[in-house]
Amino acid sequence: MNSGNAKSASSRSGFTLAALALGSTLLLAGCAGNPPTEQFAVSNTVLKSATVAGATEYAPVELRTAQEKMARAESLAKEKDYEQARRLAEQAEWDARVAERKALAAKAEKAYQDSQQGVQDLREEGQRSTIIVK
């Protein structure tokens, strides 16, 4: 019975060591040298969405900042500085999200102002019609 417990403990210890070694290897491999292709895809998609939303007109500074960061990230990826490239691509994504939100907010504000002007025009037209009838 004692030798069964020793084998079981030894197996668990070996398994734990193997799991730690595998985990460490995967962690180091993940950090060391994989291009941030997924982050680049996300960042580029958000940049396109911001452009479609009107960021060129309503949030040009934010959009330009995002585009510049993305261009720098792509340059770093070519130099195989993947970690810094990923960080810049993430920053570009968030800058593009800000540009998109700002553009959407500006367009919504403009639509609101246009609708308010339409209501005012209708009121004035209604008042003119009422004056003519009397």
pLDDT of residue 54: 96
Q: How confident is the model at residue 44 (pLDDT cuts 50, 70, 90)?
A: very high
Q: What is the DSSP string of the chain?
A: -HHHHHHHHHHHHHHHHHHHHHHHHHHHHHHHS---HHHHHHHHHHHHHHHHHTHHHH-HHHHHHHHHHHHHHHHHHHTT-HHHHHHHHHHHHHHHHHHHHHHHHHHHHHHHHHHHHHHHHHHHHHHHHHHHH-
Q: 46, 98 in Cβ contact below 8 A?
A: no
Query: What residue ranges do the domains of the chain occupy?
Result: 1-32, 37-133
- How do residues 60-69 score in pLDDT, each as one tens digit? 999 999 999 9
Check the CA dihedral 48-50-56-60 and report its sign.
negative
* Confidence grade of residue 125 (pLDDT, cut at 50, 70, 90): confident
Using the Cα atoms of residue 67, residue 73, residue 76 and residue 78 in order, give the sign of their dihedral.
negative
- The pTM (predicted TM-score) of the whole model is 0.66
Per-residue model confidence (pLDDT) at position 92: 98
Q: What local confidence, expressed as pLDDT, does residue 5 receive?
A: 57
Backbone angles phi, psi at 130, to 5 degrees: -65, -40
pLDDT for position 33: 85
Say yes or no: domain 37-133 is CATH 1.10.10.10: no
